[in-house]
Amino acid sequence: MPETIFSAIIRGEIPCHRVYEDDRVLAFLDINPLSEGHTLVIPKEPAVTFDELSEESAAALGRVLPRLCRAVVRATGAPAYNLLQNNGAGAHQAVMHVHVHIIPRYPDRPEGRAGLGLVWRPGALDAQAGAALAGRIAAAFSDGAAQA
Ligand code: 5GP
């Protein structure tokens, strides 16, 4: 795994506005926030994408995320928020170390609207194709291919 800016932050070599830390997880404010309270939650384990994470690190992230979301909401008063987790350059990942964005949304603030743009263009799931695809994913899950 290549060295990233987040590795240096974990080691304390680059400063951050830390909001939470335990043995496996660090949370800090994003340096270029999309909105007030934009927080990054990262595992200390070096992994590029979420699928590479150990179950222990994933569990540690999942355990603390709801509490961190509550803390961000309470501290900012945001009425809504997005959790965003980008994997791969094609999915807008810029820092190649797993991270979850907590992005408060302020629909009543002009800058709140501009902070995160989502274009959602849903299709329609074909019943036959959907059954086949779900079967392939379920098979991949259970045949060991999805083991970390
Ligand atoms: P990505 O596009 O990879 O999901 O998002 C990476 C995020 O990391 C960006 O929102 C960016 O502002 C943030 N970031 C990049 N470098 C630093 C840094 O040195 N410190 C902090 N606090 N955030 C950073």
pLDDT for the residue 35: 94
Residue to mutate (ligand 1; options 31, 42, 85, 99; most atoms within 8 A of CB): 31
Atom of ligand 1 nearest to the CA of 34: 10
- Spans of the chain below 70 pLDDT: 111-113, 145-146, 148
The full set of domains in the chain, from first to last, is: 5-119 (3.30.428.10)
pLDDT for the residue 4: 97
Reduced DSSP (H G I as helix, E B as strand, rest coil) percent helix, strand, coil of the chain, to 5: 40, 15, 45
Q: What is the rounded distance in angstroms from the CA atom of residue 100 to the CA atom of residue 30?
A: 11
* Stated pTM of the model: 0.95
Element (H, E) at 90: none
